[in-house]
Structure 1
């Protein structure tokens, strides 16, 4: 086992059926996705951190979601882009580290979605008690707990897979190192690892999802019974949130369950589904949760006006150098 671990290199194939002449166009699309994620999530983080008017519980939760999404894209997209451009490879420890971070950040996303649903429940269903229950301190502690708990399950998968290094075949037909991809390379029996990680995955997915669905069902029932003229706007907002949550959860549940029961699909289909639930929410989250929000739009617009105004004044009154 020692000799095997010394010579191992892991190769990310990306899209297995992709022809070489399409490497550059596909990698450019990934680069655009990465830049868009940096711009969208980076803007949200900057606004929430720098603007005191956004130091509210809801925006603190959204900022944590943006941090998790931005980190995920940073540890995955540059690697596969480098593969298509330079033929870059990874060592097995690097692959394990990426696997840990991928599952860690995905788990954090799930818990933060649950916090957002709880926040919306109290904001809509218990508006008079919202300020006393959901405070900045409570949200800050809750977010920290989410980050810490998420690391436990990801660390478990890391330790278990580190005990089953691959030998012989070392190509991963995917864009990133995941638990399913890494266990497929192992030489020893990994049935225990598969069952353990599957149970953890289902708990991570269904526990937050049960809270989310329950809270939104209650919210929608209350809004439908309400005579308030704003219920249609709130209903639309909750619906768009549920669309993003569905894109985040449904493909994951399907993928993990299909793999557990031995149902396999074309490798390119698997990679496409992986892209669907990994990167689409990261681009759409800032739009749905933030850029459609009145407070953030006004803050962003005022900041942009100040920047433009400062540049205009610089042009009108250029600095002069005196001798």
Structure 2
């Protein structure tokens, strides 16, 4: 029985080179310091929120359970790519074949989980404002836990098949990825054979998770807006707008940059625009999220002061 030999025209790619931001070494150092500071602030800010919500028993309610889960998710999300970016600024820019696809998988899975969790947080605000009498009976702690776990599981299953299919495609060189992360667009450009079906599958799944959750959030907040406008109390309207405004600000930052990248493939974004946009939603939005939530919420600020005070920080 004859066994067919591998096609000799395909060179086996064992590693990739992430070009990142190609510039002078002085600018590389400045970018390294900027990214390091942003990463440290992101971990510190989101970590402080997680600790504050965990330590304050008064905040063990659905809204803050979701917020604590979201902050923890942000820590994982930013850690899936930024450490490798920092290494690339100062040393070898190579990443192994397996490491590239693991980064690809975790970055997209955590981002997808974030899309689902933001939608769940919008649904929670809808129930709290539009159905206040039934809210305590519907949104129990048990249900919150199940919903958070579901977001994580769905996020890690959503892109699993496309990523496995892409990793099994022939990469025959060059092995240079003109990006800051292992992203499907640059990876498809390095594939030897055309794969329109897999590309269509990736863009379809991206569009579904982004637009599906975004439209769900818009629908939820449309109903919330109508309910808030009908409130007789000005204080009640202000409190509702303040709570929902923080969430909408986070949604706008996150979904705006995602839509530019992953649901408009036909625009032919330049490599520089892709790098800047990816850096924005991979680093900047996770940094702003704790600031947006903590600065507009008296309960979180009080919990943070309590935690920091216990460590004699303030």
Alignment TM-score, normalising by the size of structure 2:
0.91
1:31 aligns with 2:36: yes
Shift of 1:6: 5.1
Runs of 4+ deviating beyond 3 Å: 1-7
Distance in 1 (alpha carbons) for counterparts of 2:246 and 2:61? 22
Gaps of at least 5 residues in structure 1 are 312-323
Map 1:185-264 onto structure 2 (within 5 A). 185-230=190-235, 231-259=237-265, 261=266, 263-264=267-268
Q: Is the 8 A contact 1:164 1:183 kept in 2?
A: no
CA contact (8 A) 1:247 1:276 kept: no
Q: What does residue 138 of structure 2 align with?
A: 133
| Aligned with 1:61 (options 55, 61, 66) | 66
* 207-216 or 7-16, which deviates more: 7-16
1:117-152 residue CA offsets vs partner (Å, 9 max, x unmatched): 011111111111111011111010011111111111
Q: Alignment RMSD, CA only?
A: 2.0
Partners of 1:235 and 1:5 lie apart in 2 by 58
Worse-superposed segment, 111-120 or 80-89 = 80-89
1:49 maps onto 2:50 in alignment: no
**C-alpha distance after superposition, 1:260-309 (max 9, x if no partner):** x2x21321122111122222221111122244322221122122223329
The equivalent residue for 1:15 is 21
The more displaced of 176-185 and 193-202 is 176-185
Distance 2:60 2:245 in 1: 25
What SS class does the counterpart of residue 17 from structure 2 fall into? strand
1:297 counterpart residue number? 301
SS at the partner of 1:194? Answer: helix
Work out the CA distance in 1 between the residues paired with 2:279 and 2:31.
12
Q: Which residue of 2 aligns with 1:266?
A: 270
For normalisation by structure 1, the TM-score amounts to 0.89
Q: Structure 2: which 5+ residue stretches go unaligned?
A: 1-5
Q: Once the two structures are superposed, what CA deviation does each residue of 1:164-221 show, in whole Å capped at 9, x if it has no partner? A: 1422111212211122222222111121111001111111112211210011111112
Of the candidates 114, 119, 122, which is equivalent to residue 117 of structure 1? 122
